[in-house]
Amino acid sequence: MVLDLRLLVPSNPLLEILIAVVLLFYVLGVLFLTRYVFSFLKKKKLEDNVIVYYNRKIIHVLAGGVVALIVPYLFSSPLIPTAFALSLAIITYIPHKTGKILYWFQVKDNMYEVNFCIAWGLALLILWLVFGNPIYAIIPISFMSFGDAVTGIIRNTVYKKRTKSWLGNLGMLLVTLPIGVYYAGYVGLVAAVIASIVEHYEIPPLMDDNVLITAASLLVLIASKTFGLL
């Protein structure tokens, strides 16, 4: 498999950097919007840990998911959006490093939102270069953004804490299946099923469900490309 590294060169770098800056401010806006969600739900007597995980899933959808869907139409190269994602990883890591976490969506127990940003950026980069097409590249990050959000919301609503449950995985499958089929046919279907299963597991601290969802679906897509199925 030969990667076309010419794809790393944006056709209009200045414009795409400007777009990335706008998206960065959009994502930061989403992060701080959830602070108001925290305050609102706090007044409704929800527990802090429940609110935090609702907020994390809101961020999954509005930041990770929405941006993933529009990236193919705004960028000619994976370089700048990948740099954008890794920059967000640094931004979300700093509060953990300084001990001043953003309490309305971060927790001291893990830095999985940092993993999310890294997985988002690397999956986009790798699959864009492998396929020469950003459409396939957004499948794993859409699974991670939308699918994992649904499973988290279901479990948070039912169990009132961060936990694993096959009920949540079923909800994730109902979201990832149409995404996978729409973008990659039966290969996408297989990727959706596998991603929805591996979400149930994690190997702390580095291999959380964000990483496993992205890695599993990425490997399915690359294998399909290797054997001429995509």
Per-residue pLDDT at 184? 96
Is residue 80 within 8 A of residue 17, CB to CB? The reply is yes
pLDDT digits (tens, 9 = 90+) for 93-133: 999 999 999 999 999 988 999 999 999 999 999 999 999 98
- Rounded Cα gap, residues 125 and 188, in angstroms: 19
pLDDT digits (tens, 9 = 90+) for 48-107: 999 999 999 999 999 999 999 999 999 999 999 999 999 999 999 999 999 999 999 999
Q: Is the pLDDT confidence value at 1 over 90?
A: no
Per-residue pLDDT at 152? 86
Per-residue pLDDT at 6? 84
- Rounded Cα gap, residues 88 and 114, in angstroms: 8
> Where exactly are the structural domains of the chain?
10-226
Q: Is the pLDDT confidence value at 16 over 70?
A: yes
Q: Which two tokens stand for residue 168?
A: 């949540």
- Rounded Cα gap, residues 121 and 126, in angstroms: 9
Confidence band, pLDDT 50/70/90 cuts, at residue 162: confident
Is residue 78 within 8 A of residue 125, CB to CB? The reply is yes
Q: Which class for 212: exposed (0-12), middle (13-18), buried (19 or more C-beta within 10 A)?
A: buried
pTM of the complete model: 0.93
Confidence band, pLDDT 50/70/90 cuts, at residue 3: confident
Among 3-7, 22-26, 216-220, whose mean pLDDT is lowest? 3-7
